[in-house]
Amino acid sequence: KNEVEQSPQNLTAQEGEFITINCSYSVGISALHWLQQHPGGGIVSLFMLSSGKKKHGRLIATINIQEKHSSLHITASHPRDSAVYICAVARSNDYKLSFGAGTTVTVRA
Amino acid sequence: NAGVTQTPKFRVLKTGQSMTLLCAQDMNHEYMYWYRQDPGMGLRLIHYSVGEGTTAKGEVPDGYNVSRLKKQNFLLGLESAAPSQTSVYFCASRRPTWNSPLHFGNGTRLTVT
């Protein structure tokens, strides 16, 4: 079983809809990262969380350390939000990160 | 600042050929990583380095070698390419603190025929 599990694997939404992507992990972590990868593109860091909630524009990320769970929300989704969203965890006392398989989001106009 | 730069962007190799992928970062980061990304799978760590002159194996190191002779550069070598090494390769770097974000290069698409 992977240390980091994301759901759903794929998601299609209509423009304007609220989107939620979930990430569950099974190890102790020092931080959790949300990353975005557009088709054929590079990978950019959206958020890094160790507790609570962060907001950037229409994106909101939350983490519950006790539950070992994080969510990424996209409010008022737009076709330009179509991308793969990847959850990654930085394990405690480790140099390395573990990655989820990614969630492919498609937003239709 | 350029951030993390990977070269080349694309490459096609024949089975048995060798090549080196170069990753360069200008942010003075200690930690550098090489990942491969395959359809339906998450990023998998090939090798990583926590400082100049040091390297370590990741999850999928077989068939690859690395070197970190200078802090800003991390090289990934394929000595004898195999079709199973067809993939998109990403380099990343970060500072050695728990709250440091990852910075990725734009990727190298490698096809081995």
| 3-class secondary structure per residue, B57-93 | ECCCCCCEEEECCCCCEEEEEECCCCHHHCEEEEEEE
For B50, which residue in chain A has the nearest alpha carbon? A95
A94 touches chain B (CB under 8 A): no
pLDDT tens profile A17-59: 999 999 999 988 989 999 999 987 789 999 999 999 999 999 9
pLDDT value at residue B104: 95
**Would you call B106 and A48 a contact, using CB atoms and an 8 Å cutoff?**
no
A-B contacts at Cβ under 8 angstroms? 54
pLDDT value at residue B1: 60
pLDDT tens profile B66-112: 999 999 999 999 999 999 999 999 999 999 887 788 999 999 999 99
**Would you call A43 and B33 a contact, using CB atoms and an 8 Å cutoff?**
no
Give the separation between CA B76 and CA A106, rounded to whole angstroms.
Answer: 33
pLDDT at A1 over 90: no
Give the separation between CA A33 and CA A50, rounded to whole angstroms.
Answer: 9
Nearest to A30 among B45, B58, B98 (CB): B98
